[in-house]
Structure 1
């Protein structure tokens, strides 16, 4: 049986408990208790979540856990000396430690991430990099494994992290069964991207959203402003003005981002050549696709594909 300590602190974000459910489901699928989960905090007792309710916890002590996960909050909170001491103890005493989302800041403050690769929620990645320059932050990753230290992006990426742990411990078939029971895709590879062009654009009106839907369905076409304006039932001038006001981007830039995202997804699937992907997503040739990837990710397509194939 493997013991798993899940660390919480005041105002922790309850989405982290989705990762605990992965281990619970693994026990159910295996029909035996493989993972025994304990909730931990510095003082023990009741700890209030950001959602307002409290959970019962055990206080930190010298007990060694197989795996320790340091939960995250809705914002970056300074770590207490007691929490930092427990991080350092866990790194020495446990087979692996993990931190989803802004939990990475706790590991970094304890010095655990110095000279290690790590990731966090995209909204905090630059801050992690600026605060802790010794950390090799890869801001567009779903999760990263560096030795026995695991970090992940925010929110649902914690599920991918937990599924990857189950796969490593119990094999891919059991992990796939757990994913199906949770009604999620089998866990995303660590190299997959947090980037989403449509979420970034977030148009306010149905007309602009309709134009973006049209663009996504016709990426292989040239997609002129006139075509997009027609899809939105606006004149080209009205459309360009409204589009920029709602999305903060020009139509041409938005179309490029949609093409980049579509191309990236095809690369992660790994079945098509670069030339075919460039053709399928509307880039005139792979050189134009390469330049677009450099603008979006600071990396060429070959690097993005290679990272997507990495386990973490």
Structure 2
């Protein structure tokens, strides 16, 4: 197996975990299977950089010399952070020139903005931190921004969402380069899941939806979250809010940004997902507890949301679990 060179780009204002999270994954893979990866870090001029948290990183080399006398890196990884908001034009120019030459191009969090600024995401699917997806779509209309997945693969380019999702993407790449057993070993060592599916939502229902302004509607939101297995029809929820079904549906959508039905669907899916990850309960029991009623109904919901059945989803998190 040929050794793959990984080049991590660093700059002032970089998010430290965007760098160190994936780096620890690849370094762990190299320790597990020596000769797999050659990992390098580089800043524009080779000088130390100060991260957004104040930590100083000392790179191995300068970007201008990183490729001198050597083959292009197999994987070029671009992290995010405050330094992506007004990037050094020289960094964008370097990425524009060298990004297309890497066999695999990866961004973490707002590193997608640097790739987009260099024109490397035009016509491609991509994601970034949920708080910046709308801005990326606005600033770079040629990019097909997907706000929900924790990472997106589009050919040779992979983009991940906020911060820790870079670890998920790195584990997926290690699994691709080596095998699942190595990636699982690394995930256990780092005490993280192997592995969240790339199309898993970036954030919980309660973070994704706005909190209603009026107390009766906020009470309904809490009731839905705490009782996913009850009758959550518009009529039943409207009765709890002491509103007519029509008025309730309109007010709920206006104040939360989603319809009651969509909110209920997301809560039930998240509840079922967490039970699969965190408990030994069987699929049939979880389907009832989450309000689906039958395993088949829950299976359809998981296939639509994650592209995988509940039993397979669980195996990715709890390899020893048996349904």
TM-score, reference length from structure 2: 0.71
Aligned to 1:282: 291
Tell me if structure 1 keeps the 8 A contact 2:10–2:43. yes
Question: Alpha-carbon deviation of 1:262?
Answer: 2.8
Aligned to 1:135: 143
Partner of 1:36, secondary structure, is strand
Aligned to 1:42: 44
Q: What does residue range 144-183 of structure 1 map to in structure 2 within 5 Å? A: 144-183=152-191
Aligned to 2:6: 4
**Measured at CA, do residues 186 and 155 of structure 1 come closer, stay the same or move farther in structure 2, by a change above 3 Å?**
same
Aligned to 1:126: 134
CA distance in 2, matches of 1:114, 1:201: 29
Aligned to 1:304: 305
Aligned to 2:28: 25
Deviation string for 1:197-245 (max 9, x for gaps)? 2345798xxxx9999777545311136679989xxxxxx99xxxxxx9x
Aligned length: 276
CA distance in 1, matches of 2:191, 2:134: 32
Q: What does residue range 81-96 of structure 1 map to in structure 2 within 5 Å? A: 81-96=89-104
Tell me if structure 2 keeps the 8 A contact 1:4–1:35. yes
Partner of 2:100, secondary structure, is helix
Question: Alpha-carbon deviation of 1:2?
Answer: 1.9
Deviation string for 1:84-135 (max 9, x for gaps)? 2221233332211111111101101111001111111111111111111111
Question: Alpha-carbon deviation of 1:61?
Answer: 2.5
Tell me if structure 1 keeps the 8 A contact 2:14–2:83. no
CA distance in 1, matches of 2:283, 2:231: 21
CA distance in 2, matches of 1:118, 1:173: 28
TM-score, reference length from structure 1: 0.73
CA distance in 2, matches of 1:258, 1:175: 34
CA distance in 2, matches of 1:228, 1:175: 47
CA distance in 2, matches of 1:256, 1:93: 43
CA distance in 2, matches of 1:202, 1:115: 31
Tell me if structure 1 keeps the 8 A contact 2:210–2:256. no
Aligned to 2:268: 262
Deviation string for 1:236-263 (max 9, x for gaps)? 99xxxxxx9xxx659x95x963542332
Q: Quick check: 1:15 aligned with 2:24?
A: no
Question: Alpha-carbon deviation of 1:144?
Answer: 0.9
Q: What does residue range 223-242 of structure 1 map to in structure 2 within 5 Å? A: none
Tell me if structure 2 keeps the 8 A contact 1:8–1:72. no
Partner of 2:141, secondary structure, is coil
Deviation string for 1:21-45 (max 9, x for gaps)? 1111112222x24222211111211
User: Gaps (5+ residues) in structure 1?
Assistant: 230-235, 238-243, 290-299
CA distance in 2, matches of 1:176, 1:209: 40
Partner of 2:58, secondary structure, is strand
RMSD across aligned C-alpha pairs, in angstroms? 4.1
**Measured at CA, do residues 209 and 36 of structure 1 come closer, stay the same or move farther in structure 2, by a change above 3 Å?**
farther
Q: Quick check: 1:193 aligned with 2:201?
A: yes
**Measured at CA, do residues 61 and 307 of structure 1 come closer, stay the same or move farther in structure 2, by a change above 3 Å?**
farther
Tell me if structure 2 keeps the 8 A contact 1:116–1:135. yes
Tell me if structure 2 keeps the 8 A contact 1:259–1:283. no
User: Gaps (5+ residues) in structure 2?
Assistant: 212-216, 244-250, 277-281, 313-323
Tell me if structure 1 keeps the 8 A contact 2:16–2:55. no
